[in-house]
Amino acid sequence: MKICAVFCVFVALALGSPVPLNTQQCECSAAARSLLSSLSHIMQKEGKMKHRDLFAGFNCTDLEAQMIPHTLTASVCQPSASDDKAACSSHRSSSFSEMECLTNIRADLRYYHVMLNSYKPSETDLSPVKTATKALMDCLDENCEATDGEFPQWLVWSGSSFTDRLSLCKALKGFHIRAVTVNRALGYIGSGEHRK
């Protein structure tokens, strides 16, 4: 299952824009692309000490991604197995639920929103990601039906600047992977393929 998820991420990145531009429902694809772009930009930082970069002193790209385990976004937002063109794996046995997918996306976004806003000191490097996260949350609230999901509170910051920046890097890498999933899911929802 993990191999399929990794494969889907690589395929999405290789194909360019993860969200089709011709979405018709749940018009949040521009906000989702903006979030993915902001996360991609921050993950490309080199961590130069003299510029006091967010990741100064370590190479963020060498660290593993930290995914949040409480949501099922990757599995519930996977297209139905009956849609041969869109399905990554035949492991999904139930039909696609737009409501369940959007609920999990909202829970992810709220979780990362809380995490980013709790990071002290609030780095200016995080501003575009915070803004894009909030914009996508607002767009989903205004344009898409879904219930609010539950999520645990963020309890990672230790107070040590270096340790907190390492944790932030890992969390942002996980958020970047999740943003790819969100882009693909909103593209699928917007295409209306699941309603056919």
Question: Quick count: other Cβ atoms within 10 Å of Cβ 38?
Answer: 21
The per-residue pLDDT for 124 is 75
The residue whose two tokens read 């993950």 is 43
Residue 11 binned pLDDT confidence (cut-offs 50, 70, 90) = very low
The kind and range of the H/E element at 172 are helix 161-191
The per-residue pLDDT for 40 is 92
Find all residues with CB under 8 Å of 17, minimum gap 6, and list them.
33
CA pair distance 150, 86, nearest whole angstrom: 28
Give the pLDDT confidence of 121-179 residue by residue, as tens digits: 666 789 999 999 999 999 998 887 766 656 566 666 887 888 888 999 999 999 999 99
Instruction: Give CB contacts under 8 A, 24+ apart, made by 142-147.
Output: 143/26, 143/27, 143/28, 144/25, 144/26, 144/28, 144/102, 144/189, 145/99, 145/102, 146/98, 146/99, 146/102, 146/103, 146/105, 146/106, 147/99, 147/103
Question: Quick count: other Cβ atoms within 10 Å of Cβ 177?
Answer: 19
Per the confidence metrics, is the pTM higher than 0.95?
Answer: no
The residue whose two tokens read 């894009």 is 132
Question: Quick count: other Cβ atoms within 10 Å of Cβ 143?
Answer: 12
**Mean of per-residue pLDDT scores for the chain:** 76
Find all residues with CB under 8 Å of 41, minimum gap 6, and list them.
128
